[in-house]
Structure 1
Amino acid sequence: MVEIVFLTPFITGLGTFFLPKIIGRCLLVLTGAAHLTLSLMLWRDQPRAIFDQYFAVTPEGMLSLLVISLLFFLISIYTVGFLRESKIQSERLFTGAMLVFLSTMTMVTLSDHIMVMWIAIEATTLASAPLINTHRSAASLEATWKYVLICSVGIAMALLGSVLVAFSMGQGNTDTPLSFSALAGVAKTLNPLWLKAGFVFILVGYGTKMGLAPMHTWLPDAHSEAPSPASALLSGVLLNCAYLGIFKTNKIMVAAGLEDFSGGILMVFGLLSILAAATFILKQNEYKRMLAYSSIENMGIIAFGTGVGGLGVYGAVICMLHHSLIKSSLFLSSGNILLGYGNRLIKNTGNLVKGMPRTFVAFFAGFAGISGLPPFGIFIGELCIIIAAFRSGSYVAVTVFILSLCVIFAGFGNQVMKICFEECSTEIKIQERASMVLPQYLLLLTSLILCFFIPDSLNQTISDAISAIGGGLR
């Protein structure tokens, strides 16, 4: 049952490479629906994997899997309408790569073996690279190579970190499986020096894929050049997969009593990412690059909250869930804007409120949500992180955190106002199909509902995930 969840999209993805376009579009949506169903069954039944030494159903993995599955299903619905309106070369390659990408991301969430996790995260790079180069332009080719090379260097560092973690087992744990669960159980017996070194390399390696500064340079180019459905997956889902690798490694650090070491480093990288976003978002002239820097900011918030610990970890997980929902909605809306105005430059767009009113509602609501305005969940998550930081005595860090968020909100808001309300003479080139606005509305609605009501089963999954690294509501 566990392995079927990632094998299903892999098989259908391979088939899509050779099938007619219409069938490929149908398979995209049907596989998304099947994957969501299988994921919900997996969450309900919690079965044991056939290859249980490599795969396992964990609370943090299930959280990521549910987000991946829901987002992919809604994005696949949008993609059908998007493909009708846009002129994408090699559509079969695009839809097939999306399904294989879903398979690799699913494997990441279900991986419990430290080396299988590394293989799965590397596989996400290979599966998603063709999506970035869909338009076959010089800029998209450059963005693809930058993505592959930078992320591959990062993944190589993560491999070294994984080896160092294995080396920390020494001679006394030769019978212990090289899984995150087993290593957390014997963490007190691990060599702390090698374990610290392994964590640093894993954080830098997977942090590169997560988009943490200063390893973030691939992200703006990749998100800008990829078609909007691919950008939504890269920002809303892929970054979470890299964070999952860091989260699982941090569980071992906490179990070994080294949470002060790992937490301090996470806070530093988190603040660096937020500061980088605050610096660059002010002068962005492309709306997709602006959204990409917003993703860097949010990954920094998540890393900072995880490092703070306690209530901050809860806030980080809440931010992760809502960032995925809202940012995916924003990238899908940016796809409508690009198709409507035919340009990525902010100065060549405007008056969205009249030109594309349904897209305007989704885009402006997404801006409010991603900026941390109430009642959206990112406001709750950021508030939890700020409270936790003050409780821990990190006054300087939390002051920088708050001021940077204010700068980002001001810069982001200024550009959004231009897109939505500034006069523009450009003639809108597309009609707003229901399939190209409904997914955004559903993503935002899901985010709003989760602000006021979290099902007991989901709340328990969150609690189980964060308790392993000292997180909680107190």
Structure 2
Amino acid sequence: MLELIFIIPFVTGISVLILPVQMGRVLLLAVAGLHLVLTAMAWLGALSPSYPQLFGISPEGLLILLLTSFIFICISIYAFSYIEETEVENKPLFNCCMMLFLGTMSMVTLSDHPIVLWIAVEATTLVSAPLIFIHRSQEALEATWKYVLICSVGIALALLGCFFITLSMDLGNIDAPLTFNSLYQVAPQLDPLWLKTGFIFVVIGFGTKMGLAPMHTWLPDAHSQAPSPASALLSGALLNCAFLGIYKVHVLMTMAGLGGFSGNVLVGFGLFSMFVGAIFIISQPDYKRMLAYSSIKNMGVIAFGVGIGGFAVYGAFLHILHHSLIKSSLFLSAGNVLLGFDSKKVQKIGGVVRHLPKTFISLFAGFVGISGLPPFGLFISEVIITIGALQNGRYLPAGLFLFAITLVCAGSGRIFMSMSFGDGGSPVRTKENILRLIPPYALLLMSATICIWMPDALYKAIINSISLIGGTING
């Protein structure tokens, strides 16, 4: 039963509210491991949906599900130690919301019905909001309010987009189930005007949750105030789920012969997001907010690559993999720095290489990776996207793309160098717990491994995902 992948986290998450805290921590790890096993079974074709009119297996959905599951098990190991060392008062609520968060994101990846996908994306907002407010500070309250308000408005617009897509079916007198697989088959018969209108609303709506500018304003506050394990999930997994909603509708547009229109929309939002991220990274005083703006920039890279099409789509999907792994690792390393120095302010952090040498390795390697420098995968994906843009004759967008990447590298480089080698404040603790070190190292190692050797099943999933919109691996 395919639905067990999200049902088990739902049931277990609710149950930990009445269980002892220690048992809740153990269950968080157990659910993470079981989720990875069930995900592997889905990849092997051993699970089938009990409700095929609502849920199904798609290559892009499986890809993001596997990525989410791997990231979650690493974060669960990290959280086992991290939460005990922080001032989180309501630990049962933290364990509950983490598992519910996993369940709702899994539901997004398996949804084949547009409205079910919309419900699942909206549910991610409701179950993750308590994680942002977990420290109950004034700043956390403001961040949570912005997150719920802005994302709810955005998701409401996405629902309107889904209704317009349904209207395009009615105007075309199409009698088919309202699932993405069915819509793909009848795409040429859909009314183009309402399909375009629906796509714009979907991009604005799901783009709000994805962190595309100018709908991004909730993201820096939420990522900054959430505990580091939750920040890693928000950036490394949630943003991909929102992208999945946009991508499925972009596939529909392409099959309807409107791929040029939807591609240009994505290129525009992508470039704007990259420049917004780049500008706000420069002289950013809060290193967790800096990582959040980096996520905005990288979501822009993904949207840009998908919008360009061809070879660039392959680069965009590689970017999804490596950004999720590296950014999750960086947020976990940032959590170690926060525990060590008890501050998120860049000016109060200095000499990480001396005081927290093991954390420094993962922090600095993460910086190299997220900046798009070799040997990590974002360098490869950004080169592929650039080549794809040049192949398609998009010289001006390619130039703007490279300029934005350079700005981000320069801005984030100054901050990381200051934190690593500068003379900031002294740490309040220098002990580095092994459970807080293994997960960021494992995430970075996975990213580096995929650069050298990619499993055949993973490679085929990417190829099958990009072939839907004419993506190619021929550079």
TM-score of the two chains, using structure 1 as the length reference: 0.99
8 Å CA contact 1:105–1:241 kept in 2: the answer is yes
Query: How many pairs are equivalent?
Result: 474
Letter aligned with residue 330 of structure 1: L
In the TM superposition, what is the alpha-carbon distance from 1:175 to its structure 2 partner?
2.7
Q: Which residue of 2 aligns with 1:169?
A: 169
Residues 258-306 of structure 1, C-alpha deviation per residue, up to 9 Å, x if partnerless?
Answer: 1100000000000000010111110210100000000000000000000
8 Å CA contact 1:47–1:57 kept in 2: the answer is no
Q: Which residue of 1 aligns with 2:111?
A: 111
Residues 114-139 of structure 1, C-alpha deviation per residue, up to 9 Å, x if partnerless?
Answer: 10000000000001000000000110
8 Å CA contact 1:313–1:385 kept in 2: the answer is yes
Q: Which residue of 2 aligns with 1:409?
A: 409
Q: Which residue of 2 aligns with 1:314?
A: 314
Using the alignment, how far apart are the partners of 1:220 and 1:17 within structure 2? Answer: 29
Q: Which residue of 2 aligns with 1:135?
A: 135
Using the alignment, how far apart are the partners of 1:34 and 1:143 within structure 2? Answer: 32
Q: Which moved more, 1:371-380 or 1:171-180?
A: 171-180
Residues 55-107 of structure 1, C-alpha deviation per residue, up to 9 Å, x if partnerless?
Answer: 00110000000001000001000001101211101110011000001000000
Letter aligned with residue 8 of structure 1: I
Q: Which runs of 5+ in 1 are unaligned?
A: none
Using the alignment, how far apart are the partners of 1:16 and 1:420 within structure 2? Answer: 39
Q: Which residue of 2 aligns with 1:443?
A: 443
**What's the % identity of the aligned pairs?**
53
Letter aligned with residue 177 of structure 2: P
Q: Which residue of 2 aligns with 1:237?
A: 237
Q: Which residue of 2 aligns with 1:396?
A: 396
Kindly report which structure 2 residues correspond to 1:301-450, keeping only aligned pairs within 5 A, or say none: 301-450=301-450
Letter aligned with residue 228 of structure 1: S
Residues 291-334 of structure 1, C-alpha deviation per residue, up to 9 Å, x if partnerless?
Answer: 00000000000000000001111000000010000000000000
In the TM superposition, what is the alpha-carbon distance from 1:171 to its structure 2 partner?
5.2
In the TM superposition, what is the alpha-carbon distance from 1:172 to its structure 2 partner?
4.8
Kindly report which structure 2 residues correspond to 1:242-253, keeping only aligned pairs within 5 A, or say none: 242-253=242-253
Q: Which residue of 2 aligns with 1:146?
A: 146
Using the alignment, how far apart are the partners of 1:170 and 1:192 within structure 2? Answer: 12
Using the alignment, how far apart are the partners of 2:172 and 2:467 within structure 1? Answer: 28
Using the alignment, how far apart are the partners of 2:388 and 2:260 within structure 1? Answer: 14
| Secondary structure in structure 1 of the residue aligned to 2:169 | coil
Using the alignment, how far apart are the partners of 1:26 and 1:118 within structure 2? Answer: 31
Letter aligned with residue 66 of structure 2: L
In the TM superposition, what is the alpha-carbon distance from 1:473 to its structure 2 partner?
0.4
In the TM superposition, what is the alpha-carbon distance from 1:424 to its structure 2 partner?
3.3
8 Å CA contact 1:355–1:428 kept in 2: the answer is no
Q: Which residue of 2 aligns with 1:191?
A: 191
Letter aligned with residue 360 of structure 2: F
| Secondary structure in structure 1 of the residue aligned to 2:18 | coil
1:210 aligns with 2:210: yes
TM-score of the two chains, using structure 2 as the length reference: 0.99
Q: Which moved more, 1:311-320 or 1:162-171?
A: 162-171
Q: Which runs of 5+ in 2 are unaligned?
A: none
Q: Which moved more, 1:86-95 or 1:237-246?
A: 86-95
Using the alignment, how far apart are the partners of 2:48 and 2:297 within structure 1? Answer: 37
Using the alignment, how far apart are the partners of 1:15 and 1:393 within structure 2? Answer: 55
1:73 aligns with 2:83: no
In the TM superposition, what is the alpha-carbon distance from 1:428 to its structure 2 partner?
3.6
In the TM superposition, what is the alpha-carbon distance from 1:43 to its structure 2 partner?
0.6
Q: Which residue of 2 aligns with 1:225?
A: 225
In the TM superposition, what is the alpha-carbon distance from 1:427 to its structure 2 partner?
3.2
Residues 404-456 of structure 1, C-alpha deviation per residue, up to 9 Å, x if partnerless?
Answer: 11011001000000000012351342511110010000000000000011111
Using the alignment, how far apart are the partners of 1:143 and 1:248 within structure 2? Answer: 30
Residues 342-371 of structure 1, C-alpha deviation per residue, up to 9 Å, x if partnerless?
Answer: 011000001000100010000000000011
In the TM superposition, what is the alpha-carbon distance from 1:170 to its structure 2 partner?
2.1
| Secondary structure in structure 1 of the residue aligned to 2:379 | helix
In the TM superposition, what is the alpha-carbon distance from 1:18 to its structure 2 partner?
1.1
Q: Which residue of 2 aligns with 1:88?
A: 88
Letter aligned with residue 42 of structure 2: L
1:64 aligns with 2:68: no
Q: Which residue of 1 aligns with 2:44?
A: 44
| Secondary structure in structure 2 of the residue aligned to 1:290 | helix
Residues 166-197 of structure 1, C-alpha deviation per residue, up to 9 Å, x if partnerless?
Answer: 10012555430111111011000000000000
| Secondary structure in structure 1 of the residue aligned to 2:170 | coil
Letter aligned with residue 35 of structure 1: H
Using the alignment, how far apart are the partners of 2:199 and 2:157 within structure 1? Answer: 11
1:258 aligns with 2:258: yes
